[in-house]
Amino acid sequence: MRHTSLWIGISMMLLAPAVWADASDGQRIFQQSCAACHTVGEGKRLGPDLEGVTKTRDSAWLNRWIREPDKMIAEGDAIAVRLLNEYGRVPMPNLGLNAEQADAVIAFLASGSGAALPAAATGIAHPEPPTGEGRGSVQNTASIAFLAITAIIVLVFLYVARSTGNPMPVDVQKAYKLRRVFFISGLVIVVGLLATTLFTTPYPDAAGTPDRVVHVTTLQFNFVFTQEPVASAQDLQTAGRIGNLELPVGSTVEFRVTSLDTTHGFGIYSPQGAVYAQTQAMPGYTNRLRVKFSEPGVYSVLCMEYCGAAHHLMKTVFTVRNDDHA
């Protein structure tokens, strides 16, 4: 009996990391693919609260529902149709997850720990609250220029308004001369600014080569990183999903961004919480965003084009590392 208990204990110790790995993978996938529409124990969003769902639904059914919700709805699966009607006829999207990934999500949901799994065990770095004010040098320069010009405008309007307290004729010729000076000065400033800023664009240089290409597929309300391009939901299963994107510091990465449904935005936020780079994601098109990452840390990605009810919840993260693990 003692031997039996010992063996059971040893077996459990050996199996636990495997189950834990499944659950932790599942949490990562859940956060990346499901969390915009579902919570675990925090109430309904676009879809149901999934706390205890593994006790009320058969695991084979759940696995298929996670992988092929579109097909199950089309086939008229009774539970699928009931859920569709109950949640405002908002269909659960096909996110291109395979059977193993679906099992990992189920394992996470069955673990009963919800969001309580330790971050270290999830293999995904969660963004720390931003330490900066969300402003980079461009934002600072633009804000200062705006404030300065606004102050001048306000002062001029105040000066002119006050002048009406002392009515007198205005020399029109003098005003015309001033206008000419104003126009020429304005023209010089406009041309000068155009010359200095026009070619500082975020558009990729055809001649350059990035260190790495990452394909980004957007769909309500998820970002999916893959090794290969994606043209349909089915491609997501075979395109080499990158679960935990890590990039080396100093590398130039080209994100090839597209959408499978409506227009989204792909806005990369620096570890300080400032917009670092962005492009739009349009159905039928691929925008190439080339970014050099000069600082390590966790970068968030937010949707920068309004895309529907859970637009503000659509996000993901990736890590830029300054070691050789990336």
305 touches other proteins by CB under 8 A = yes
198 touches other proteins by CB under 8 A = yes
For residue 266, what is the DSSP state? E
309 touches other proteins by CB under 8 A = yes
β-strand pairing of 222-226 with 264-269 = unpaired
* Cβ-based nearer residue to other proteins, 101 or 258: 258
> How deeply is 235 buried, as exposed, middle or buried, from its count of CB atoms within 10 A (0-12, 13-18, 19+)?
middle
* Cβ-based nearer residue to other proteins, 59 or 262: 262
Mark the segment that binds other proteins (CB under 8 A) among 17-25, 59-67, 107-115, 149-157.
149-157
173 touches other proteins by CB under 8 A = no
Contact characters 68-87, other proteins, x per CB under 8 A: --------------------
**Number of chain residues interacting with other proteins (CB under 8 A):** 83
Contact characters 244-273, other proteins, x per CB under 8 A: -----------------xxx-x-x-x---x
* Cβ-based nearer residue to other proteins, 241 or 315: 315
Residue ranges in 202-231 that form contacts with other proteins under rule CB under 8 A: 202-204, 220
Residue ranges in 269-298 that form contacts with other proteins under rule CB under 8 A: 269, 273-275, 277-280, 282-289
Beta strands in 169-321 (DSSP E): 212-219, 222-226, 246-248, 252-259, 264-269, 275-281, 287-292, 297-302, 315-321
C-alpha separations of 281 from 61, 124, 239, 287 in Å = 33, 25, 18, 7
39 touches other proteins by CB under 8 A = no
Distance in angstroms (rounded) separating the CA atoms of residues 104 and 26: 4
Distance in angstroms (rounded) separating the CA atoms of residues 224 and 316: 9
β-strand pairing of 315-321 with 246-248 = parallel
Structure tokens at 126: 């969660």
* Cβ-based nearer residue to other proteins, 56 or 85: 85
* Cβ-based nearer residue to other proteins, 63 or 259: 259
Contact by Cβ (8 Å): 27, 123 = no
Mark the segment that binds other proteins (CB under 8 A) among 13-21, 55-63, 107-115, 133-141.
133-141
**Binding residue for other proteins, selected from 62, 66, 102, 302, defined by CB under 8 A:** 302
